[in-house]
């Protein structure tokens, strides 16, 4: 069997996060958007350490033989990860110091530290500390050879070295040292405080520096020798060992209560901390070498999402308001619009209000008898769930499948599920061993004495908030061949019976992997017959080795393949005898590319699918996913046009290659595909 090469998943992810960092240093982006990209990079990295690095570190506890069976050395991989992260964070600091800070100054916005304040500002800082901060300050002694204090996951702390003078037995004056931890209460207060103006410029200071400046008020009688910021990241896995017995809901609730106490996966410290001080902290906190990660003076850059803008709108993206869909707007109501023809929706270029409208109208419509829907990541103030509760109050059957294992959204999903159950909605919960990631809704309505079904299928969550920043595709349809199969999906979700067949939908656990393989095999056959063979796919992540091998096989047969990947890509393109016919690009821009699109040329009679699923082993093997065919020629045209624009993006597309260089795509056009797609839908709405 031919030996193929693959990119490591974790290293590919770090390459993706570097593309986020590239956006932070791209001068074409407005200043405050570049600051947000720094925040995104930081937030992404936190999650990476909480989930992926924590998982890798758990592998170190395996016996040597078990580690060998993994096919890689977890210790060596962790070493590579730390090396790459260190280089990236050095560049992060350089971007912040050499680009962001000077450009803020050019715009009369000064981010100052505790050493740069004048007398009035110091007085303001002390007053602010006394009124707003000191109530949250509870110092924790740090002593060697004692049980280490518990640090909140992601919490910010100062480790403070104190001294005071004492007399020894002979009356000789000596210094006595003590060490304390002081939490920076950013969970209660804004991380950034606006100071009184200086020289007509806006002055902003970290909460950290307000505290550092006033530590003497916390420790009267002591001299503050040193104070350095630290942060601990903890393992975020819920570690539910057995999902198959007892209450999975109860186990997830219990696991959530323990997540904040997970084992350390990263201890981030100010790299200017003297070695002796650092050794003391490491020993007193009972940390390992693998825990220790050097950083800068400040941590939790994800707080820069809230960096104050003193009314300078030109420093942010110009708002791009979503367009309507002319055919839906001109119809008598949403159901009449769907009757006329399938309707494709392209978010956030077109408004997500139509999805909310479908469910809101269904809740009030006396002819609607039932609503069925899946929920994966629910908005904080969900209009969709409000409509579902209203529908059950209006005596309609409402069935909701809630996935409790949506990482970091478990608590919110549980809250909404319990609210819905109280209202009388029939709620089904997570499958043991599976995640339900499908994004589908089905409305049944009485029309002329018969039942008519209307469906919505999407590539993104039923979430009004993320629909404004995630690029996704949705489909409204009443085609019976699709709506009947959606009914079958809900039958499976409620009964867990595998006695269903799917001919149009691609459903993971049933036919998704086999159908994708069949579609690729068809292009391979055409290429071998000397006919044009082409595949174009777009997804978030490409990791499943079986699907990658199939694409390698297609490349070797002469199938031309274009891949658009946002994040992880374990396929290595451009390798002789493996992937010479495969080109891979990645696009990062103001919207998060989230749609999954699969286009197979099929001798010019293109077969196009959109899906909730990436080509990752978890999506194809351990989840319930739904892919849906696009039969309407107008929607096909829109999809193909948006894909063509992305493949010719001369501003935001990067080349994915075996060196992970993230070079920008060198094409003749100088377009931003997202801007061009926005203009395209603006034209369609006129």
Tell me the pLDDT tens digit for each residue of 312-364.
Answer: 999 999 999 999 999 999 999 999 999 999 999 999 999 999 999 999 999 99
Residue 191 CA from chain centroid, whole number: 22
At 629, list the tokens.
Answer: 């065919």
Answer whether residue 137 is part of any domain.
yes
User: Which CATH number is 95's domain given?
Assistant: 1.20.58.310
Query: Which of 474, 499, 524 is the last residue before a domain boundary?
Result: 499
The predicted pLDDT at position 172 comes to 74
Residue 239 has pLDDT above 50, yes or no: no
437 given a catalytic annotation: yes
Answer whether residue 318 is part of any domain.
no
CA-closest candidate to residue 129, choices 114, 112, 111, 107: 114
Query: Which of 445, 473, 499 is the last residue before a domain boundary?
Result: 499
Beta partners for residue 370, in sequence order: 397, 444
CA distances (Å), origin 196, targets 105, 118, 200? 16, 10, 9
Whole-number Å distance between alpha carbons of 536 and 543: 17
At 453, list the tokens.
Answer: 């079904």
Residue 259 has pLDDT above 50, yes or no: no
User: Quick check: helix, strand or coil at residue 4?
Assistant: coil
Q: Scanning the structure block, which residue is given the tokens 């990295």? A: 45
Please calculate the CA angle 440-442-444 and round it to the nearest 5 degrees: 180
User: Quick check: helix, strand or coil at residue 103?
Assistant: helix
Q: For the ranges 73-77, 92-96, 332-336, 539-543, which has the lowest average pLDDT?
A: 73-77
Q: What is the DSSP letter of 49?
A: I
Number of domains in the chain: 4
The predicted pLDDT at position 234 comes to 81
Mean pLDDT to the nearest integer, 632-642: 98
pLDDT tens sequence across 456-511: 999 999 999 999 999 999 999 999 999 999 999 999 999 888 899 999 999 999 99
Answer whether residue 449 is part of any domain.
yes
Answer whether residue 382 is part of any domain.
yes
User: Which CATH number is 233's domain given?
Assistant: 3.30.1840.10
Helix (H) or strand (E) holding 526: helix 512-528
The percentage of the chain sitting over the pLDDT mark of 70, rounded to a whole number, equals 93
Contact, 113 vs 211, CB < 8 A?
A: no
Q: Which domain holds residue 227?
A: 127-306
Residue 244 has pLDDT above 60, yes or no: no
- Which has more pLDDT, 68 or 506? 506
Identify whether residues 269 and 397 lie together within a single domain: no
Whole-number Å distance between alpha carbons of 594 and 567: 10
Can you list the positions of beta strands (E) in 108-191?
Answer: 109-112, 140-141, 156-167, 173-184
Starting at the earlier edge strand, list the strands of the sheet with 201-206. Answer: 109-112, 201-206, 192-198
Answer whether residue 672 is part of any domain.
yes
Q: Which of 114-118, 204-208, 377-381 has the highest mean pLDDT?
A: 204-208
Q: Mean pLDDT across the chain, nearest whole number?
A: 91
Identify whether residues 167 and 39 lie together within a single domain: no
The predicted pLDDT at position 60 comes to 81
At 460, list the tokens.
Answer: 């993104």
The percentage of the chain sitting over the pLDDT mark of 90, rounded to a whole number, equals 74
Whole-number Å distance between alpha carbons of 395 and 393: 5
Whole-number Å distance between alpha carbons of 624 and 439: 10
The predicted pLDDT at position 238 comes to 44
The predicted pLDDT at position 338 comes to 98
The predicted pLDDT at position 242 comes to 41
- Exactly one of 86, 188, 321, 437 is catalytic; which is it? 437
Identify whether residues 58 and 165 lie together within a single domain: no
Q: Rounded to the nearest 5°, which phi and psi values hold at 355? A: -70, -45
The predicted pLDDT at position 256 comes to 45
Identify whether residues 485 and 573 lie together within a single domain: no
Residue 22 has pLDDT above 60, yes or no: yes
Q: For the ranges 254-263, 383-392, 641-650, which has the lowest average pLDDT?
A: 254-263
pTM for the model stands at: 0.91
Identify whether residues 455 and 516 lie together within a single domain: no
Answer whether residue 117 is part of any domain.
no
The predicted pLDDT at position 241 comes to 47
Identify whether residues 490 and 519 lie together within a single domain: no
Task: Count each helix (H run) and each strand (E run) in the chain, helices first.
Answer: 22, 27
Contact, 382 vs 409, CB < 8 A?
A: no
Answer whether residue 115 is part of any domain.
no
The predicted pLDDT at position 243 comes to 44
Identify whether residues 367 and 415 lie together within a single domain: yes
Identify whether residues 605 and 521 lie together within a single domain: yes
User: Which CATH number is 648's domain given?
Assistant: 3.30.870.10
Residue 192 has pLDDT above 80, yes or no: yes
Name the pLDDT band for 73 (thresholds 50, 70, 90).
Answer: confident
pLDDT tens sequence across 521-575: 999 999 999 999 999 999 999 999 999 999 999 999 999 999 999 999 999 999 9
Identify whether residues 364 and 249 lie together within a single domain: no
Identify whether residues 384 and 302 lie together within a single domain: no
Answer whether residue 348 is part of any domain.
yes
Mean pLDDT to the nearest integer, 591-615: 97
CA-closest candidate to residue 400, choices 430, 427, 436, 370: 427
Identify whether residues 626 and 535 lie together within a single domain: yes
- Which has more pLDDT, 683 or 170? 683
Identify whether residues 495 and 548 lie together within a single domain: no
Exposure on the CB side of residue 158, measured as CA atoms within 13 A: 26
The predicted pLDDT at position 406 comes to 58
pLDDT tens sequence across 138-173: 999 998 877 888 888 888 999 999 998 877 666 677
Mean pLDDT to the nearest integer, 406-434: 81
């Amino acid at each position: 069997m031919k030996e193929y090469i693959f990119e490591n998943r974790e290293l590919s992810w770090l390459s993706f996060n570097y593309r986020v960092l590239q956006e932070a240093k791209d001068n074409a982006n407005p200043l405050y958007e570049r600051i947000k990209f720094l925040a995104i990079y930081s937030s992404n990295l936190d999650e990476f350490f909480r989930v992926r690095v924590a998982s890798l570190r758990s592998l170190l506890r395996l016996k040597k033989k078990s580690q060998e069976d993994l096919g890689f050395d977890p210790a060596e991989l962790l070493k590579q990860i730390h090396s790459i992260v260190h280089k990236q964070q050095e560049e992060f600091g350089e971007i912040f110091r050499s680009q962001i800070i000077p450009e803020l100054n050019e715009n009369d916005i000064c981010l100052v530290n505790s050493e740069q304040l004048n007398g009035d500002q110091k007085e303001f800082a002390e007053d602010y500390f006394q009124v707003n901060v000191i109530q949250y300050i509870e110092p924790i002694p740090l002593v060697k050879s004692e049980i280490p204090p518990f640090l909140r996951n992601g919490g910010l702390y100062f480790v403070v070295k104190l001294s005071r003078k004492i007399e020894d037995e002979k009356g000789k004056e000596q210094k006595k040292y003590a060490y304390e931890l002081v939490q920076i209460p950013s969970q209660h207060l804004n991380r950034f405080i606006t100071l009184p103006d200086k020289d007509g410029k806006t002055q902003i200071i970290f909460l950290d520096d307000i505290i550092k400046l006033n530590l003497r008020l916390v420790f009267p009688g002591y001299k503050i020798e040193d104070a350095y910021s630290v942060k601990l990241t903890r393992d975020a896995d819920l570690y539910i060992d057995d999902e198959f017995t007892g209450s999975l809901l109860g186990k997830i609730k219990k696991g959530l209560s323990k997540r904040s106490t997970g084992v350390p996966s990263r201890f981030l410290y100010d790299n200017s901390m003297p070695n002796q001080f650092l050794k003391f902290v490491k020993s007193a906190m009972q940390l390992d070498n693998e825990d220790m990660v050097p950083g800068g003076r400040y941590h939790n850059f994800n707080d820069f999402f809230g960096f104050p803008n003193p009314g300078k709108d030109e420093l942010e993206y110009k708002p791009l308001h979503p367009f309507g869909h002319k055919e839906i707007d001109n119809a008598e109501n949403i159901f009449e619009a769907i009757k006329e023809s399938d309707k494709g929706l392209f978010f956030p270029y077109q408004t997500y209000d139509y999805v909310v409208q479908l469910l809101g109208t269904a809740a009030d419509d006396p002819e609607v008898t039932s609503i069925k829907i899946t929920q994966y990541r629910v908005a904080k103030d969900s209009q969709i769930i409000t409509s579902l509760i209203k529908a059950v109050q209006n005596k309609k059957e409402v069935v909701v499948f809630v996935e409790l294992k949506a990482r970091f959204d478990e608590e919110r999903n549980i809250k909404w599920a319990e609210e819905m159950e109280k209202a009388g909605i029939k709620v089904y919960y997570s499958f043991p061993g599976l995640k339900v990631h499908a994004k589908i809704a089905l409305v049944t309505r009485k029309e002329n004495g018969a039942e008519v079904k209307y469906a919505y299928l999407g590539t993104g969550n039923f979430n009004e908030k993320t629909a404004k920043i995630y690029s996704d595709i949705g489909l409204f349809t009443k085609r019976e061949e699709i709506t009947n199969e959606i009914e079958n999906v809900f039958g499976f979700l409620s009964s867990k019976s595998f006695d269903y067949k799917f001919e149009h939908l691609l459903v993971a656990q049933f036919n998704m992997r086999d159908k994708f393989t069949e579609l690729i095999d068809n292009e391979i056959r055409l290429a071998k017959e000397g006919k044009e063979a082409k595949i174009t796919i777009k997804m978030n992540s490409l990791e499943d080795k079986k699907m990658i091998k199939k694409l390698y096989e297609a490349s070797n047969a002469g199938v031309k393949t274009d891949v658009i990947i946002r994040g992880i890509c374990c396929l290595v393109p451009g390798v002789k005898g493996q992937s010479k016919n495969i080109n891979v690009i990645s696009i990062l821009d103001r919207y998060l590319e989230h749609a999954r699109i699969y286009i197979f040329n099929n001798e010019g009679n293109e077969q196009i699918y959109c899906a909730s699923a990436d080509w990752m082993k978890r999506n194809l093997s351990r989840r319930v996913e739904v892919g849906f065919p696009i039969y309407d020629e107008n929607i096909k045209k829109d999809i193909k046009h948006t894909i063509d624009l992305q493949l010719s993006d001369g501003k935001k597309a990067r080349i994915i290659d075996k060196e992970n260089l993230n070079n920008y795509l060198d094409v003749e056009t100088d377009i931003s595909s997202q801007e061009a797609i926005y203009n395209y839908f603006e034209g369609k709405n006129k």
